[in-house]
Amino acid sequence: MPLLTFDLIEGRTEEEIKLLLDASHRAVVKAFEVPEGDRYQIVHQHPKHELIIEDTGLGFKRSDKVVAVSVRSTPRTDKQKKSFYNILVKELSENCGMDSKDVMVSIVTNSASDWSFGFGEAQFLNGEL
């Protein structure tokens, strides 16, 4: 059920984006132990001048392949979050040729009452999920 949004510099091919989304989904499934069919992903592409992702003073430079991943989810443990960061970078490196320094992640936690999957219902609250 995590909702992932990806902000990246425009110019990737449809196949490159598919690989990125598939690799990211594998990381979600492994780290958060969600069902395979629990997949919610949105991609936003920006002209280069509209996406500025710096190093927070850590002393490295990012490339034009940088991706900012925002995850909205019900609470996850610190162990799950660390696992997700690690697995995500590994998946993106192995399947997309991305450098680990080009992957920035932010996880925002919310509660079961903050989700509706359609039909005007709160599936977590009414017992459907």
- Residues annotated as catalytic (active site), given as ranges: 2
Sequence-separated contacts (24+) of 32-37 with Cβ below 8 Å = 32/2, 32/73, 32/76, 32/80, 32/84, 33/80, 34/1, 34/2
At position 59, the amino acid (one-letter code) is G
Nearest to 18 by CA among 46, 48, 39, 47: 39
Quote the Cα angle for 125-74-121, to 5°.
Answer: 30
